[in-house]
Amino acid sequence: MDCVRSFLGMTTHTKNTTTRTRRRFRTIPTALTAVTLAVGLALTGCSAAATSADTDSASASTSVSNQSSTSGTAISTLDVASTEDATTTEETISDTAAAAQAFWDTLSAEQQETLLYDYDDETKSTSWSNFPVTFVERAGLNLYDLTDEQRTAALAVLESLLNDEAYAQVVGIIGGDEYLLENSSSTEESLGQYYIAFFGEPDADGEWALQFGGHHLGINADLDGTNDEITFAPTHLGVQPAAYTDSDGDEVQPFDAIYTDAFAFYDSLTDEQLEAMYQGEDVSAMVCAPGGTCDYPTGTGLKGSDLTDEQKQLLLAVIANWSGMADEETTAAELAEVEATLDDTYINWSGATEYDMSTGDGIYFQISGPDVYIEFASQQGSAGADVDGVTTSGWGHVHTIYRDPNEDYAGSVTQGEASGGGPGGGAGGGMPADGEMPSGMPDGEMPTDMPDGGTPPDFAGDDSTDEDSADQSADSITDS
C-alpha cells in the first residue's frame, strides 16, 4: 500500500458552496513564534521529513494549488512540539488562542474562509457525529487535505487546549481509526479523516469555539476569555477497537482510564446500592446519541443522595473524563457545578460487572442530573470493521456522549437534530440520500449504530469569490 493510501484514506473533501457569513479575525499578539515539527513514521512505514512551522506572509497567502501536496503521514504519528500543561483557565484560553493564530498563519486565504464561522452559527450543532465523515459532513478543514506542517499546527491547537492525558486519549482514538483503515474488513476509505473548525474569532479575551472531530470523535470546546470559562459540552468520545498495537509495537487502550474510573466507582457500592443501579446483563442501547437532540431521561437507577462522600468523589472522577479535559482550574470549576446538584443525579448501569474485556459484551452506564448528562454505550456490532483476533464490537466498540442539560455550547446555539438522526447511537449520523449501506457492510446488514434513513445535513458553506479570498491575506487579518 503506498504512502498516500496509508494516510487516512482517499475520500476527497468537496467544499460546500452553501452561503454562510464570512468572518475574519484579527492578529493575536503572542510570544509563540514557532511550532517545531517532528514528523514520525506512518502506520505503513512511510516517512516524511520534519518541517518548520515558521511561515512568512508570502508563503501563508500562497494558493492551495501552490502548497506542497499532502503526504503519507498519519495524524496519530505527527509529533507536536510538547508544551507545559496550563494550570489555569486563563492560561489555557491564551495558549489555545495563540496556537490558533499560528495555525491560521499557515493557511491560504481560501482555507481560512473554510475554517472560520460566526460564533453562533447553527452549523456548530449539526456538524459532528459518531459516523465517518462520508455520512455526516463536518465543518471546517479536513486535516487530510492539509500539508504535514498545517496538520501539525492544527494539532497544536488541540494540544494547547487539552491536558496531556486527554490529548493522548484523542490521539489514541484517531490511531484506532487509522488502524481500522489499514487492518479491518471495512472498505470505508474516510476512516482516519478528521476536521477542525473555528466558531468565532480565536481571541484570549473573547468568546469563540473550537470544533475537532471525525469518526468516533466530536470535541466542542467553547472558550470564554472574558469570564475565564471553558466547557466541553457537548462532546463525543468513541473508540474502536478498544485495544490495538501501534506502529511501534505498543498496545494502545484509549479508554482504559474511563474503564478504570467507572469500575472503581462500581466496586465501591454496597449490594443494596448495586441493586438500585444495575439494570441487567443486557447492555442497554444509547438514548441520546452524538449529534442529536436529547430529552435527558433521568430518575432511573441509583440516586446521588444515596452515595457516601467517598463514592461521590469516585463518581466525579468518572465525570472528569469528559468535563476535565483541560487544565486543573477549569476541571475544578466544572466539577464543582456538577457536585452542587449531585444529590439529584441518577446513575444506572447494565452489562458486565467486572473490567475484563475478554468476556461479555461490554457495559452501559448513564449519569443524568441537572448539570450533567453522560452515556457510555458498548455497541453490539462492528459496523463491518472486523479484524482477525481483535475485538471491534462490545468492549471494542464504544460510543459516549457528554452534555450539559442547561448550557450546551455555552448557550451560544441550540442543539439541532442532524439529518438522519435516530435511535441506537446514531443521531447525528444518517444514511446517505441514496440509502446505500456504509462501505464495508455485508449485504443486508444494518450496523448497530446506524439510524433509519435520512440525508446528510446541509452545511453553511463559503459564498466568497476567489477575488474576495485574495483580499484576505494571512499576514493582514483584520477585525470583523
For 236-255, the pLDDT digits (tens) are 999 999 999 999 999 999 99
Tally of domains in the chain:
1
Name every residue whose Cβ is closer than 8 Å to that of residue 470 and which is 6 or more positions away in sequence.
Answer: 109
In the prediction, which pLDDT does 327 show? 97
Structure-block grid coordinates of residue 344: 439529584
In the prediction, which pLDDT does 73 show? 75
In a domain, 55, yes or no: yes
Q: Where are the alpha helices (DSSP H) in 228-327?
A: 256-267, 271-277, 309-323
In the prediction, which pLDDT does 428 show? 31
319 or 60: which leads in pLDDT: 319
In a domain, 136, yes or no: yes
Residues 363, 182: Cα–Cα separation, whole Å: 27
In the prediction, which pLDDT does 81 show? 64
- Name the phi and psi angles at 435, rounded to 5: 75, 10
In a domain, 41, yes or no: yes
Mean pLDDT value across residues 100-125: 98
In a domain, 425, yes or no: no
Is there a contact between 199 and 212 (Cβ–Cβ < 8 Å)? no
In a domain, 150, yes or no: yes
Closest CA to 97 of 233, 200, 212, 214: 200
In a domain, 135, yes or no: yes
Peptide bond into 234 cis (omega under 30): yes
In a domain, 401, yes or no: no
**Do β-strands 194-199 and 363-369 pair in parallel, antiparallel, or remain unpaired?**
unpaired
Mean pLDDT value across residues 323-338: 98
pLDDT confidence bin for 77, thresholds 50/70/90: confident
12 or 257: which leads in pLDDT: 257
In a domain, 122, yes or no: yes
Burial class (CB in 10 A: 0-12, 13-18, 19+), 328: middle
pLDDT at 141 over 60: yes
444 or 98: which leads in pLDDT: 98
pLDDT in tens, 432-441: 333 333 433 3
Secondary structure of residue 222 in the 3-state scheme: strand
pLDDT at 326 over 50: yes
- In terms of residue numbers, what domain contains 49? 3-201
